[in-house]
Amino acid sequence: MFNQYFQPNDILIIYPELLLALFAMGVMIIDLFLDRAWKVLNAFTALVGIAYAAYALYRLKSNALNLSGYNHAILNDSFAIYFQFVFLIATALVILISARYLSIEGENRGDYYALILLSLIGMNFMVMGIDLITLYIALELMAVSEYILVGYLRTNRQSNEAAMKFFLLGAFSSGILLYGISLLYGISGSTDLRVIAQRLAERPSHDPIALVAVVTLTAGLLFKIGGVPFHQWLPDAYEGAPSTITTFISVAPKAASFALILRIFIVGLKPLETSWVPVLSVVCVLTMTLGNITAISQSNIKRLLAYSSIAHAGYLLLGLIAGNEYGITGIAIYFLVYAFMNIGIWTLVVAMRRKDLIGDQIQDMAGMIYKNPGAAVLMLVFLLSLAGIPPTAGFIGKYYLFASVIQTHHYVLAVIAVLNAAISLYYYFRVVVVMFMSEKTDEEKMTLSPGVLTSLAVTLVFTLLIGIYPEPFIRFAQNSLSLFQ
Amino acid sequence: MVGTGDYLILAAALFTIGVIGVLTRRNIIIIFMSIELILNAVNINLVAFSMYWQHFTGQIYALFVITVAAAEAAVGLGIIIALFRNKETINADEIDLLKW
């Protein structure tokens, strides 16, 4: 009786997540015994948890590849493992920069790290799930943890507001997504994505219910990645949230949502390709253009980076529209690159925070080259990488995505994408001009904590290394091609 | 005889009411209730399809949706209370520190 429901494999596959859950609980318990001065140990606990999980994941990669568990609800293929590694790296970097920022804000508590780890568990299940029930629960585990984290600064009104907007629109989009899922279940009679694909292929191509399902699913998922016209929540959430959390939600959950989109569209909705490719093409063009053009007029660096992240979501959609091996590899490598360059630049924004300065205005960076030459040069490297200029890593990511749409003969899209990359140069360099050409407004230098320094060192090394010697990383990213099997 | 199609129409109506509520109402609590309407439309859909296919998957899914909605409500109301403590309003138009 019992064996019918549980197999030994089940526990084996989710071992990294079990470890993370254990450490999430552990952080909260240990926090109770720590004095105010020792709260930094919470960050260490969380990092140890991530290191253990990474090791467990590495063991799984060599021992238990392509095992499925829980009655085919989750599948541990190399696509899932690749994205889990990206999440682990991004989360570890965010935890590194959090401790000092939280103590400046006066909110240095253990539940912060516990929530980050729980969100990480949600993301891991999002990439492993091949069943719509698992995917939905994982998505909500990630999202609910994020709502709390965005509103983590309880006495800060901006943080409250950001959490409110993020929560309302996030819950709304989950509802729409769920409506699409229910219709998909209705026409196929199953929640397994592979069965859904088979059943959809047997139905006539312009089935109205299937069309409604695709439209609502697309709308719900676009909300999560901030695609136009469902992007309004994103700049507000990014600006109001604690900077470390903005760092987190701009990378890991976005990658998780994209992985979810890839699973649903490439595996489940492949038979309806003719109905979603044109829609996504329009969304992709709008997202890139609106993100880049709105970013030009921003005076707040957090908002500027938020719009730039909308534009990047547009570039990433190119890979999905192409839907071929080049496109998927492109999305995978882009997220690895994006994790490093985006966390790098956000780390500097976090480091700008002082007791008396929020440090989120572009003007606050005036004359940075005279005060902190190192930080200014790092910022330049990360901005070049975001703009996609060789020899930085951003170029490799953009190259793959743009090449993929050229391979599938979407020439117009490719041209628009390249034009957009040119527009983005303008506002990235506006920041550079302020840093290098303006007079400094005060004398106080940035103080960099050991965690921030480590994070900066790692992100800088990888941003340059992936740009100069990309082969091993591309081979790593090609793990994600197991999606097609 | 009430067929599966009737349930679907009811669910679609509820879903539409919910979406319109979210988009037009300005009171946060009512927006929140409209979201719950959307989730309940989904539940009706799932249970109706579960009857149609003669298996339990849809009903189990509906139970999960209810559970997650409860968790979401707890977090959402917590956020509303935190906001209300700092600024005594639940009107979405007055929450204007960040540009909408």
How many CB pairs lie under 8 A apart between chains A and B? 122
CA angle A99, A101, A107 (to 5 degrees): 80
Judge: A147–B45 Cβ closer than 8 Å, yes or no.
no
Q: What is the pLDDT of residues A255-289, one digit of tens each?
A: 999 999 999 999 988 888 888 999 999 999 999 99
Contact A154 B38 (CB under 8 A): no
Q: Which structural domain range is residue A149 located in?
A: 2-484
Kindly report the number of other CB atoms within 10 A of residue B25's CB atom: 15
User: In this complex, is the C-beta atom of A185 within 8 Å of any C-beta atom belonging to chain B?
Assistant: yes
* Residue of chain B whose Cα is closest to the Cα of A234: B100
- Test A168 with B53 for CB contact under 8 angstroms: no
Residue in chain B lying closest to A181 (CA)? B42
**Chain B closest CA to A104's CA: distance in Å?**
20
Residue A2, pLDDT > 70, answer no
The predicted model gives B74-89 an average pLDDT of 89
Residue A470 preceded by cis peptide, ω within 30: no
CA A426 – CA B29 distance, rounded (Å): 42
- Taking only the tens place, the pLDDT of each residue in A298-351 is 999 999 999 999 999 999 999 999 989 999 999 999 999 999 999 999 999 998
A358 inside 8 A of chain B by CB = no
Q: How far apart are CA A43 and CA A63, in angstroms?
A: 30
Q: Do A165 and B98 touch (CB under 8 A)?
A: yes
Residues A358-393 have pLDDT tens digits of 778 888 888 888 888 999 999 999 999 999 998 899
DSSP string, A19-78: HHHHHHHHHHHHHHT--GGGTHHHHHHHHHHHHHHHHHHHHHHHHSTTEEETTTTEEE-H
Q: Chain B residues with CB inside 8 Å of A186's CB? A: 8, 45, 48-49, 52
Residue A95 pLDDT > 50, yes or no? Answer: yes
* 3 state SS of A430: helix
Contact present, A382 and A459 (Cβ < 8 Å): yes
- The minimum CA-CA distance between B65 and chain A, rounded to whole Å, is 8
> Taking CB atoms and an 8 Å limit, are B45 and A232 in contact across chains?
no
CA distance A80 to A128: 5
pTM of the model: 0.95
| DSSP output for A393-426 | HHHHHHHHHHHHHHHTT-HHHHHHHHHHHHHHHH
Which residues of chain B does A167 touch, with a Cβ-Cβ cutoff of 8 Å? Answer: 75-76, 79
Q: Is domain B4-89 classified as CATH 1.20.1260.60?
A: no
Domain limits, chain B: 4-89
Q: Report the share of chain B in percent with pLDDT over 70.
A: 95
- Residue B91 pairs with which residues in a beta bridge? B27
What residue has token string 């882009």? Answer: A334
Within an 8 Å CB–CB cutoff, is residue A215 touching chain B? no
**C-beta atoms of B35 and A172 within 8 A:** yes
Residues A135-190 pLDDT 10s = 999 999 999 999 999 999 988 888 999 999 999 999 999 999 999 999 999 999 99
The amino acid occupying position B13 is A
Q: Which ipTM did the prediction report?
A: 0.95
The owner of tokens 């238990």 is A64
Q: Is the pLDDT of residue A439 over 90?
A: no
Select the residue of B42, B65, B86 nearest A160 (Cβ to Cβ). B86
A208 touches chain B (CB under 8 A): no
| Four-residue CA torsion sign, A93, A95, A100, A105 | positive
Counting the structural domains of chain A, the total is: 1
Q: Does the pLDDT value for residue B100 go beyond 70? A: no
What are phi and psi for residue A171, nearest 5 degrees? -65, -40
- Give the residue numbers in B contacting A (CB under 8 Å), as ranges: 8, 11, 15, 18-19, 22, 28, 31-32, 35, 38-39, 41-42, 45-46, 48-49, 52-53, 55, 57-58, 60-61, 64-65, 68, 71-72, 75-76, 78-80, 82-83, 86-87, 95, 97-100
> Cβ contact (<8 Å) for B87 and A157?
yes
B83·A133 Cβ contact <8 A: no
Which residues sit opposite A361 in a β-bridge?
A300
Q: Is A70 on the interface with B (CB under 8 A)?
A: no
Contact A180, A211 (CB under 8 A): no
Q: Is the peptide bond before A208 cis (omega within 30 degrees of 0)?
A: no
To probe the interface with B, which of A168, A236, A246 has the most B CB atoms within 10 Å? A168
Q: Does A223 touch chain B (CB under 8 A)?
A: no
Whether A454 contacts chain B with CB within 8 A: no
Of chain A, the percentage scoring pLDDT greater than 90 comes to 73
CB contact under 8 A, A175 and B39: yes
**Contact criterion met (CB < 8 Å) for B68 and A163:** no
Specify whether the CB–CB gap between A338 and A344 falls below 8 A.
Answer: no
| Cβ-defined contact of A160 to B79 (cutoff 8 Å) | yes
Give the residue among A200, A7, A97, A354 at the shortest CA–CA distance from A192. Answer: A200
